[in-house]
């Protein structure tokens, strides 16, 4: 009888352990709380959609991670990661040496140019001379803000920072800004909107600066979370190889976003 009870108890313990292993903690994936189309934005029901959402969900599915999209204010997204309010950043965050002092990154998963847009009725380019005396809008805590301060201010443009990219775009459309700098894909989405078509056009791409803009966009992880970083890297590699990355990308873009020259936030 004792043998039977011991066998039952051992089986029960194994079952409980298996259940615990099967129910791993969810991975809270931080994205900027404001819309950033076509990468991330909430639909009419409040569900987050976009290229980056589908991308990270594909990576998580490949690595059997239970990922939960978690919106966080952009200027607080790194502190949210380091204080464990989220576990991963998938918010078009550029890999930079400055950020790597605080967090680590996965391998690059896209890389696109940085652009300047402005009113249609004004002709200028994307150099410091072109922007001299103009008011240039950028999103706070982005590589664009850092780039603009380094290359355009204070002797060229007046730099005005916004909590969200949408706020900068809205002020440009309202005539309160002379130009806006951001990722070319995000600005292209604005230029294709009714408001963007009416007011603005592309002025040019900024000159490269790897130190500020970095080599591309990666997923942010805590420095100590090496296992999660390895899983994300493996997932990126897998969906690039099996065609899932290309399948998702074709839904949003008609060009390669993986190997462009320069990039995002």
CATH of the domain at 176: 3.40.190.10
133 and 9 within one domain: no
* pLDDT at 19 (0 to 100): 46
How many domains is the chain partitioned into structurally? 2
> Is 205 exposed, middle or buried (CB count within 10 Å of its CB: 0-12, 13-18, 19+)?
middle
> Is 21 exposed, middle or buried (CB count within 10 Å of its CB: 0-12, 13-18, 19+)?
exposed
Is 257 inside any structural domain? no
Is 186 inside any structural domain? yes
Q: What share of the chain is helix, strand, coil (3-state, %, to 5)?
A: 40, 20, 40
Rounded Cα distance between 89 and 27, Å, is 10
118 and 105 within one domain: no
196 and 231 within one domain: no
96 and 7 within one domain: yes
Residue where a domain terminates, one of 192, 213, 234: 213
223 and 95 within one domain: yes
The boundaries of the domain holding residue 121 are 114-213
Is 236 inside any structural domain? yes
- pLDDT (tens digit, 0 to 9) for every residue of the chain, 265 residues total? 455 445 444 544 555 444 444 457 999 999 999 999 999 999 999 999 999 999 999 999 999 999 999 999 999 999 999 999 999 999 999 999 999 999 999 999 999 889 999 999 999 999 999 999 999 999 999 999 999 999 998 788 999 999 999 999 999 999 999 999 999 999 999 999 999 999 999 999 999 898 899 889 999 999 999 999 999 999 999 999 999 999 999 999 988 899 744 334 5
205 and 122 within one domain: yes
Q: Which two tokens stand for residue 212?
A: 């500020």
Is 263 inside any structural domain? no
77 and 199 within one domain: no
220 and 98 within one domain: yes
Rounded Cα distance between 65 and 109, Å, is 18
118 and 94 within one domain: no
Is 23 inside any structural domain? yes
225 and 107 within one domain: yes
Rounded Cα distance between 49 and 92, Å, is 14
94 and 6 within one domain: yes
Is 258 inside any structural domain? no
Q: Answer yes or no: are the C-beta atoms of 166 and 187 closer than 8 Å.
A: no
């Amino acid at each position: 009888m004792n043998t039977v009870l011991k066998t039952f108890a051992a089986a029960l313990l194994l079952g409980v352990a298996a259940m615990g292993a099967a129910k791993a903690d969810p991975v809270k994936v931080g994205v900027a709380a404001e819309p950033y189309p076509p990468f991330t934005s909430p639909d009419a029901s409040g569900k987050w959609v976009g290229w980056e959402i589908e991308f990270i969900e594909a990576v998580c599915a490949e690595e059997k991670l239970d990922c939960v999209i978690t919106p966080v204010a952009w200027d607080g997204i790194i502190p949210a990661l380091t204080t464990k309010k989220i576990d991963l950043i998938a918010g078009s965050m550029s890999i930079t040496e400055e950020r790597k002092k605080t967090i680590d990154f996965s391998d690059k998963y896209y890389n696109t140019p940085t652009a300047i847009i402005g009113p249609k009725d004004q002709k200028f380019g994307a150099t410091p001379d072109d922007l001299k005396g103009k008011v240039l809008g950028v999103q706070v805590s982005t590589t664009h803000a850092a780039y603009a301060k380094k290359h355009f201010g204070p002797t060229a443009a007046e730099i005005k920072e916004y909590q969200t990219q949408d706020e900068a775009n809205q002020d440009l459309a309202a005539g309160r800004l002379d130009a806006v700098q951001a990722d070319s894909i995000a600005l292209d989405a604005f230029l294709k909107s009714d408001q963007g078509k009416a007011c603005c056009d592309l002025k040019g791409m900024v000159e490269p600066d790897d130190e500020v803009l970095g080599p591309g966009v990666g997923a942010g992880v805590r420095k100590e979370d090496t296992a999660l970083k390895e899983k994300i890297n493996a997932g990126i590699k897998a969906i690039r190889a099996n065609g899932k990355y290309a399948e998702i990308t074709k839904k949003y873009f008609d060009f390669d976003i993986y190997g462009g020259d320069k990039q995002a936030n």
